[in-house]
Structure 1
C-alpha cells in the first residue's frame, strides 16, 4: 500500500482516547450507561448494490460475478484511490492495526484508516486487538480506507451512486466512501476472508458459535429474525463469537474480537449478556436516547429498525478468549418459517445439510394491498450471500467434507410459525425451541425415533420430552389439513425454483431437497 498522506494521524489510540476524540468532534454523545451513541445519517444499513470487486486478472476466473459481486475496472479503482488520497491530505485520520481471525495460523493482519474517531473505535472493538509485541511487528496484508465524506461521481467514476465499497484483491485494499454505516468495514473484511480461506481448506461461515463445559462446540446459522443471537447466548455455555467463524483442520475460530448485536426490542430480561455489554467503550448505532436522562429506548425505531450495539467480546461474561474451539459436534440451521409448514426440529443427512446450506432459507413478512401480511420466502446462499466472492459450490463442498470427516450432526430448527401461516397460526413457543436446542446440544435428541417428512424429506422426532408431540409434526397442528398440504407444496416449490440458479450440483444433493409435487 502506498503511504497515506494526512495532516494529523492518530495510531492505535486507546478506546478512552477515541471516545474523547469522538465527543470532542461532536460525532456522538454518551448514553446513561457510558456507551457512545452515534447516528449513521442516510444509510442505516449496508449498501449491497454499491459493492464492487475489481476485475484484477489474478481473480477474474474465480469470482462469482453478478449483482452481489459487481465488476469495476482497475482504472476506476485507481481513480477512486487517487480521489481518496487527495481527500485525506490535511485530514485528521485514525488508524487501527490489528487482525481478523483468532487462530494465529490463519489470521489476517489488517489496517483500518478512518476519518471518524467512532469508526476507528468500532474497528478496534470488532476486530482483534494486537498485544504491544504484536503491534511492533505488525505488517498489514489488507487495508480498509473508510471515508464517509468522500462521495463518488457516478458519471465519471462508473458507480451506481455516490456510495461505493470497492474491493481489490490484487492491491489488497478496500475503499469505502459515501456511507457512515460502520458495518461496511466489518463485512468487507469478511468478504476478503471468504475469498482467501477456502484456498487454504478453511470454511468461512456466517454463524454464531458457543462451547459447552466438555469442550463440545456448536454452530448456529440463521438469517435475521431466526433467533441466532438469542439461542447461542446460553448461560451454560461459553460464547465463541456471534457472527463470523472459520472451520479449519484444527477446529473453529472466531474472525472477530467483538460483537455487533441488534438492539431493537432489547431487554435485560430476554438478553442479559448484550444488555450488560452496553457500557463505556461500546457503541450504540441509531439508538434513540431520552433527551433528559440519556437512557436508551430500544423500542424507538424512528431512525431505523437496524439499531445496533458494538462492543468487545470480553464484555460478555465468560466469553471464550481467544475465540478458538474443537470441531463442532452439532450444527444448527435456524429458520423462521412464516408459512408454518417446516418442522420445529429435523435431522439432516450430509446431502440435506449441503442442500439447505446452499438454500439459506427463512421468511420475511410483507404487507399486501389489503393490509394483510403474508409470508415471503427469502433465500440467502450459505446464510451469507452478499459476502461470498467465490462460487457457492466451493463453500457447500467444504461444509460437506468437514461434516463427514468430523461426524458433525446437522439439524434444522424452525423458530417460526405453527398451526398455520403468519396471521393464522402462532409463533412456536420459545420454551419449546429452547428445549429442542438443549436436546440437540446434550445429544438426547438422538435417543428419539425419527420419521421422514413426506414433502421435505427431513427426519422428524416422533416425541421429545418437554415438547407436545403434535407440535413436532406440523401437519398435526393445522385444523385445515388440506390447507397445510397446499402451503407445504407452495414452499417446496419455492425451494426447488430457488435451486434452479445453481449449476454443477450433484444429483445426490438435488435429490436431498423437497419432493416435487403437483
Structure 2
C-alpha cells in the first residue's frame, strides 16, 4: 500500500523556482557571488552510526532494529508531520522506461534546499503525472528538526525494505535524502538479478568504438573527478550510482550530480567547477563570506562541502546509448604500496571489489577521515548481507567479460606530510585511464601480490608511482615494504574470510 502523506499542509512537486524561493527564506541560507544558493547545515556528513534497517526486511545482522521499534519511531514521525508544512518531490531513479523506479521525498518545507537538490537528481515525472495516483517504489520521509533520543547524536535513519520507506530524523544533510532512496534501490536491483555499483560511468571513443568504463570508489576517492576528466573526447554518463546487469548492461540512476567541492579548481576540474558556479546549482556547507564570496579551499567548517546541479551542464553521453561495460576501475586512495594501476584476473577482481580499500575522507565524517578503511564494493549503502555483493559480482563477471583494474588515487611511499612520498596526481590518473582503454600499457607480474603492474605506460614516466617497490628500494626501506606486504595480505585474507558464504574462489585469490 502506498505511503499516505498526512501533514498540516502539502506542496506537491513544486517547480525549481518555488523550491529556490523557499530555500532563500531559510535562516541558514545565503546567495553567493555566482547567484546560486548555499546552505550551512548543522550536519556535515552522512550518519552511518545512526542508520538501522528493520531486521525482518533484510538478511544482514548488522545495525538492525526490530519491527516493533521501527513502528514506534514511524508513529512518532507521523505524529510530528501532522503538525508541519511539508514539500513532496516525486520523480524517477533511472531514465530507462523499462528499468526506472518511481521515487518520492517527503520533507519539512523549512528545509526546502533538500527538496531542491533532490529534484535536480530525480529524473522528472511525465506530463501525465498525478500525485493522487503516483505510487512510488521508494519513499524517503525526512524530518530534519525531529530528534530521536536513544540513538547516536539523537539521530536516526530507519530503513524498511519491505515497504521501501526510509525515515530520517534530526539530520539536515542532503546526502541522507539521496542515499535514502538509493539504498532501497540497491535492494531492488539485486532482486532483479543485477548489482548496484557506487560508481561513475563514462564513454570513451577509441578507434571508432565507444568504450564504456565504470569507476567504483568510496566518496572522496576521486570517482567523480575520474568520471569527468576527459580522455579522447570522453563524456560522462553518470557520476555516482549505476546498475550493472547481466551481459554488462548499464542503467543510470540520477539526472544530476552531487559532487564534493573541497579544493575545486577550474584548472584541474573545469567541468565540475563551471557546473558548480551556475546560478541554479545548490551548495551545501561551502565556505561563503558576508559578501557572497565562495572559498572552495576553506576547511574551517568541513572539507565535505557539496553541490548539486543538473547533469545536462556537462554534456553527458545519452543514457540510452551506452554499450555494455568493458572496463571496471576500482579506486583506492592509498598512501603506501598500492601502485598507480594494477590489472586483475577474474577472482582478484571480485576480491579487490569486496575489499573496497581506501583512506577515508570527510564524506564519512570525523570517524572515517584520514583512517584506512575497507568497505565492501566501496558501497556503504548496500542493505543486504555483504557476501551477496561479492558473489553477485563474480556471477556478473562470469557472464560478461570485463577488464578490471585497481587505481591508486592517493600517494605512494607515505602520507601527505611525508616528504619521501609521491602524489598520484589527476594528470597521472587521466593518463592511466587513457592507456587502459587504448591498451598501450606493458605489464609484468608483481612478485608480491600476484596482480600485474605496469612496466611502461604512456603519459606516466615515474616508475615509482607505477611500481612502489622501486621507491622503497631506492630509499632503503625494503624491510618496511616487505612488512607491509605481509601485513596487508594477512589482513585481506582475514577480512574476506569474515563474510560467511563468500565464494571460495574470491578468498583464494589473495595469495
TM-score when normalising by structure 2: 0.90
2:170 alignment counterpart: 178
Q: Within the alignment, does 1:411 sit opposite 2:375 as a pair? A: no
Residue 277 of structure 1 aligns to a residue whose secondary structure is: helix
Residue 435 of structure 2 aligns to a residue whose secondary structure is: helix
Are the structure 2 counterparts of residues 403 and 64 from structure 1 closer, same or farther at C-alpha, using a change threshold of 3 Å? same
Compute the displacement of 1:165 (Å).
Answer: 0.7
CA distance in 2, matches of 1:421, 1:8: 52
Compute the displacement of 1:29 (Å).
Answer: 1.7
CA distance in 1, matches of 2:26, 2:222: 37
Residue 209 of structure 1 aligns to a residue whose secondary structure is: strand
Aligned length: 488
Q: Within the alignment, does 1:276 sit opposite 2:274 as a pair? A: yes
2:160 counterpart (162, 168, 171): 168
Give 1:417-428 correspondences, 5 Å limit.
417-419=411-413, 423=418, 424-428=420-424
Are the structure 2 counterparts of residues 192 and 349 from structure 1 closer, same or farther at C-alpha, using a change threshold of 3 Å? same
Q: Within the alignment, does 1:330 sit opposite 2:332 as a pair? A: no
Compute the displacement of 1:210 (Å).
Answer: 0.6
Task: Decide whether the 8 Å contact of 1:284 with 1:308 is kept in 2.
Answer: yes
Are the structure 2 counterparts of residues 507 and 141 from structure 1 closer, same or farther at C-alpha, using a change threshold of 3 Å? closer
Compute the displacement of 1:140 (Å).
Answer: 1.3
2:376 alignment counterpart: 381
CA distance in 2, matches of 1:245, 1:4: 29
CA distance in 2, matches of 1:219, 1:211: 9
2:365 alignment counterpart: none
Task: Decide whether the 8 Å contact of 1:53 with 1:167 is kept in 2.
Answer: yes
Are the structure 2 counterparts of residues 483 and 254 from structure 1 closer, same or farther at C-alpha, using a change threshold of 3 Å? same
Residue 483 of structure 1 aligns to a residue whose secondary structure is: helix
Are the structure 2 counterparts of residues 377 and 124 from structure 1 closer, same or farther at C-alpha, using a change threshold of 3 Å? same
Residue 449 of structure 2 aligns to a residue whose secondary structure is: coil
Gaps of 5+ in 2: 363-368
Compute the displacement of 1:3 (Å).
Answer: 2.8
Task: Decide whether the 8 Å contact of 1:240 with 1:324 is kept in 2.
Answer: no
CA distance in 2, matches of 1:11, 1:85: 18
Task: Decide whether the 8 Å contact of 1:344 with 1:433 is kept in 2.
Answer: yes
Give 1:187-198 correspondences, 5 Å limit.
187-198=179-190
Q: Within the alignment, does 1:239 sit opposite 2:240 as a pair? A: no
2:149 alignment counterpart: 153
1:79 alignment counterpart: 72
CA distance in 1, matches of 2:127, 2:492: 51
TM-score when normalising by structure 1: 0.89
CA distance in 1, matches of 2:458, 2:130: 52
CA distance in 1, matches of 2:298, 2:92: 35
1:501 alignment counterpart: 498
1:221 alignment counterpart: 216
Give 1:365-380 correspondences, 5 Å limit.
376-380=371-375
Runs of 4+ deviating beyond 4 Å: 134-137, 419-422
Compute the displacement of 1:486 (Å).
Answer: 2.4
Task: Decide whether the 8 Å contact of 1:240 with 1:323 is kept in 2.
Answer: no
CA distance in 2, matches of 1:354, 1:161: 36
1:126 alignment counterpart: 121
465-474 vs 173-182, which deviates more?
A: 465-474
1:139 alignment counterpart: 135
Gaps of 5+ in 1: 367-373
CA distance in 1, matches of 2:329, 2:33: 37
Compute the displacement of 1:288 (Å).
Answer: 1.5
CA distance in 2, matches of 1:2, 1:420: 51
CA distance in 2, matches of 1:82, 1:496: 44
Task: Decide whether the 8 Å contact of 1:126 with 1:257 is kept in 2.
Answer: yes
CA distance in 1, matches of 2:355, 2:4: 43
Q: Within the alignment, does 1:301 sit opposite 2:299 as a pair? A: yes
1:46 alignment counterpart: 46
CA distance in 1, matches of 2:140, 2:424: 42
1:442 counterpart (438, 441, 463): 438
CA distance in 2, matches of 1:140, 1:324: 26
2:24 alignment counterpart: 23
1:458 alignment counterpart: 451
Give 1:250-261 correspondences, 5 Å limit.
251-261=249-259
2:396 counterpart (395, 399, 402): 402
Compute the displacement of 1:161 (Å).
Answer: 4.5
424-433 vs 164-173, which deviates more?
A: 424-433
Task: Decide whether the 8 Å contact of 1:314 with 1:321 is kept in 2.
Answer: no
Compute the displacement of 1:237 (Å).
Answer: 1.2
Residue 484 of structure 2 aligns to a residue whose secondary structure is: helix
Give the aligned CA root-mean-square deviation in angstroms.
2.3
2:265 alignment counterpart: 267
CA distance in 2, matches of 1:414, 1:25: 41
Task: Decide whether the 8 Å contact of 1:338 with 1:364 is kept in 2.
Answer: no
Residue 349 of structure 2 aligns to a residue whose secondary structure is: helix
